[in-house]
Chains A and B, each alone.
Chain A
Amino acid sequence: MTRATDIAAAVRSGSVTALGVVEHCLEGLEREAGPLVAVTRILAERARADARLVDAALSMGRDPGPLAGVPFGVKDLFDVEGLPTTAGSGLYADAPPAPDDAEAIRRLRGAGAILVATLNMDEFAYGFATISARHGTTRNPHDLARLAGGSSGGSASAVAAGLLPFSLGSDTNGSIRVPASLCGLYGLKPTHDDLPMGGVFPFAQSFDDVGPFTTSMADMALIWEVLSGRSAVEDDGSGALRVARLGGRFRDNADPDQIAAMDAIAPDAPMIELPDIARARSAAFLITASEGGILHREALSRDAMAFDPATRDRLIAGALLPQALYETAQAFRARFKAAILDLIADYDVLLAPATPCVAPLVDDPRIMIDGVMTPARADLGIHTQPISFTGLPALSVPLRRPGQLPLGLQLIGKPGGEPALFRFAAMLEDRGITGVSSADFSAKIGIQGEYQ
């Protein structure tokens, strides 16, 4: 598994060429991506052209940027110049091509990164499972019989399999943090509205954000710097971080390993119970359903049967929710957010599970919530959704547990508190508590890959 920072260093030092890295990456995608059902389009020509530009810049003595020659992929809802933005739906397969790249892609490209692929997702990002009627169900590279999570499942799966050093996804209610947890990666949902949303197909605008999947905290910090244009180091980063653990419903629906890890990380940290957390999740559910439904109402009226059946019925149901209920949920959100900000005022990092369990089986996509088996597609975000509701930044970090299925924790910060989260996560990584475990994906599909 090669880190983005290592690739960029190698390209910038001249020990490898960007074109060489890209060819290697394309070869890996062509050869191994199939079983994952993670990749929807390989952008070989564009990637080679971009790689030549990076190499040309280097040959002329110019620095192509901190991500020089690093291949990456994006969820299928980012605008890519010259291609239709499908948002995972057959409905937009023949949409007019996007005139420009999404702003996030432009910034990464400006730093030398090279877009090589678009990646699978739940249709219109509505789900936590990446079960796509158009492309198929994305598989978890740690166990192909299991879900990768969603809705940015393709973005997580391709990186966890080692086919890409990093990728971009979007997170409305947990669509980065859930697949990051299930695939064993770092995944960031930034402070709401902080990272550039230009050219990103919306889902529920009250909560939509974009963020990266990476295999290390060094990569995460670097990519966040490129995307945000700010330093990932705190102005005064020497003080001890004040940590609290989230209790109540977060601990009631968690894997014992997650609870043990949180207690080991901060044994003396106070246990905070967020009030009305179930109600917050319900309000988030309703706002998402309503905004998603209204966004697609016109297309549903025009041609409902062209939608993925499971997404279609959810979107129609959302479009039929009473406006007064939506407004009630938004009013509750404002009060809840204010109350939570008060409650966490004395802490820099809150610890919580990212998902309630390891990746569910593709053939039985259900999980246990409050002692009842429920659909994974709707409920894997039980711990992420209430956090999105507040707009706080949340970083999913993978517990280091080689040989076992991945599980993640959420590190939740204050608004704009990403640098504190990065410092804390880097410390956990250094202590060996978190870290990406190899999926041994190539071995699983019987290939000895040099890129691994």
Chain B
Amino acid sequence: MKKGNVAAMLGILKPFRSLDPFLIMLIATVAAASLLPARGMAADWTDIAADAAIALLFFMHGAKLSRQAILQSVGHWRLHGLVFSSTYILFPIAGLATVMVAGGWINPLLLSGLLFLTLLPSTVQSSIAFTAMAGGNVAAAVTSASLSNLFGILLTPLLVSLFMQAGGNGAISTWDSVGGIVLQLLVPFIGGHLLRPWIGGFIERNKKILGPVDRASILLVVYSAFSAAVINGIWNRVGVVDLAELLLLSGLILAFIMGANVLAARVAGLSREDSIVLLFCGSKKSLVSGVPMAGALFAPAQVGLVVLPLMIFHQLQLFVCAALAGRFRREAEERARLAAAAASTVVPRSEDEIAEAAKAAGMEVPEACIPGVVANLGLLDRHAKALLGPNGHPKA
């Protein structure tokens, strides 16, 4: 292959470099299920394994949930209330509105999946990671995301039964089955959390080993779901246009939620750090919780279609939040740098220091002035040293 061709190929691959590796694994799993779906006995065993994986996942969620983290930020109830409202009120409203507007011209099961994702709890890891990256209030993000997941165990199934029945999408038949499913999720969750004093430390210490278990469980659920979906002819019902429509609708929902959260933060007078928490925790939906919940809440043949919008939304939110977090981080660094410069009594001397000081002062120093400015700052530096003395502070 010629060098140019390799470069061209690398160029084509460039956009995929920023894809979440886990999403690539998910796509690979979907592809595997599409090409080699589990059938017959294999499907039964896969379903049992998937059920066990769901229980294991929620057991681990329970064991990971830190009560201390929740209690640490008790003073931030206004912020947590806003995040909660965004996750469980604003998002569902956006989902229901989308169903109303888009109903009729998009695959109803995909639309159900879109509504389903709006009913999910927020993510924990990525909300915290992006908040930390953006220089937000990490402690509050830990609490908010943890609370969101805690409530989600109960709220999401309830909201699903309420809205998805009302929407005529028929995911769940009766309240009794809701109770059963809640137990399926809740029992392992509470079990894990109660055992946290004994196993929490082990889980924390062995994150690297248990991480793959977490992920493998999700992949197993996805494989199981898509196997059933493929056998039911998912790819005959879903085309590229459907996926593009999903992407567009996901983008609109995300933009609406983020815009509303920015506005809410401003109206509530939140600090910059807390606004970041609201923006990131309030606009996320958890793939890690969503896939097993879908596995528990929906019929096996439907799960594949239901989680497809979640997978698309999840990647979109990662793209957008990564870009925003990077921008916020740069802004925070710039602010910190300016604050440090303002607190410093050091006279800028080198050309780089002069350029930085000029930027902070909102000026540009023309090239022709640099030698003269350097010389004058040298003189001023001598006076600064005379003022400050050897200890860096003028004596009284």
Contact = CB atoms under 8 A, between A and B. Distances in A.
Q: Most chain-B Cβ atoms within 10 A of its Cβ — which of A312, A317, A318?
A: A317
A322 interface: yes
A332 interface: yes
A324 B345 contact: yes
Contact of A316 (B365, B393, B396): B365
Interface in A292-326: 297, 300-301, 304-305, 309-310, 312-314, 316-325
Interface in B361-396: 361-366, 368-369, 372-373, 375-377, 379-380, 382-384, 386-389, 393-396
Contact of A335 (B365, B379, B396): B396
A324 B344 contact: yes
Contact of A282 (B362, B364, B377, B387): B387
Nearest to B368: A305
Contacts of A335: 396
Contacts of A329: 387
A142 to B, nearest CB: 29
A285 interface: yes
Contact of A313 (B364, B373, B395): B373
Q: Most chain-B Cβ atoms within 10 A of its Cβ — which of A286, A320, A322?
A: A320
B345 to A, nearest CB: 4
Nearest to A278: B386
Contacts of A320: 348, 354, 357-358, 361, 363, 365, 373, 377
Given A285-B383, A321-B380, A325-B384, A279 B373 contact: no
Given A309-B372, A321-B347, A283 B363 contact: no
A281 B386 CA distance: 9
Contacts of B243: none
Contacts of B133: none
A286 B246 CA distance: 63
Interface residues of B, number: 37
B373 A328 contact: no
B347 to A, nearest CB: 6
Interface in A346-386: 378
Contacts of A313: 369, 372-373, 375-376
A54 interface: no
A282 B384 contact: yes
A245 to B, nearest CB: 24
Contacts of A328: 345, 387-388, 393-394
Contacts of A278: 386
Contact of A279 (B344, B363, B365, B387): B387
B346 interface: yes
A279 B369 contact: no
B369 A325 contact: no
A174 to B, nearest CB: 16
Given A313-B372, A316-B363, A322-B341, A279 B389 contact: yes
A329 B389 CA distance: 12
Nearest to B363: A301
A289 interface: yes
A226 to B, nearest CB: 37
Contacts of B346: 322
A104 B368 CA distance: 39
A276 B386 CA distance: 10
B113 to A, nearest CB: 55
A301 B362 contact: yes
Contacts of A283: 383, 387, 394
B345 A322 contact: yes
Given A304-B369, A309-B372, A321-B384, 16 more contacts: A286-B380, A301-B364, A305-B366, A312-B369, A312-B372, A313-B369, A316-B369, A317-B376, A319-B361, A320-B363, A321-B380, A323-B342, A324-B345, A328-B345, A328-B393, A328-B394
7 contacts: A285-B383, A304-B369, A305-B368, A313-B376, A320-B348, A328-B393, A378-B379
Interface of A: 276, 278-279, 281-283, 285-286, 289, 297, 300-301, 304-305, 309-310, 312-314, 316-325, 328-329, 331-332, 335, 378
Question: Would you list the 5 A-B pairs with minimal beta carbon distance, nearest first?
Answer: A313-B372, A317-B376, A282-B383, A282-B386, A320-B357
